[in-house]
Amino acid sequence: MDRFGGGFAYIDEKVDGDVINLVGVTGKTGPLTAIDQSIPAMVTPKNPTSGTTRWWLSKPAASPPGS
């Protein structure tokens, strides 16, 4: 199981091997975390792309309205 939550997919060989079943998993999931990130060591004001960061989150997230 995915510790971050989400659906579960399986193939039931007894019914039809060509059908993929999707099941929603309910219950408590882990907190939102950054499982991978890329943060530059130095940001140069004259080069705006020097401060580009990348975050890979454990589940979908959105910014609050107005941010």
What pLDDT sits at residue 61?
Answer: 80
Q: Are the CB atoms for 53 and 38 separated by under 8 Å?
A: yes
What pLDDT sits at residue 38?
Answer: 84
Q: Is 50 helix (H, G, I), strand (E, B) or coil?
A: helix
To the nearest whole number, what is the mean pLDDT of the chain?
75
What pLDDT sits at residue 17?
Answer: 62
Residue 4 pLDDT exceeds 80: no
Give the largest CA-CA distance in the chain. Answer: 63
pTM of the model: 0.43
What pLDDT sits at residue 52?
Answer: 75
The more confidently predicted of residues 66 and 28 is 28
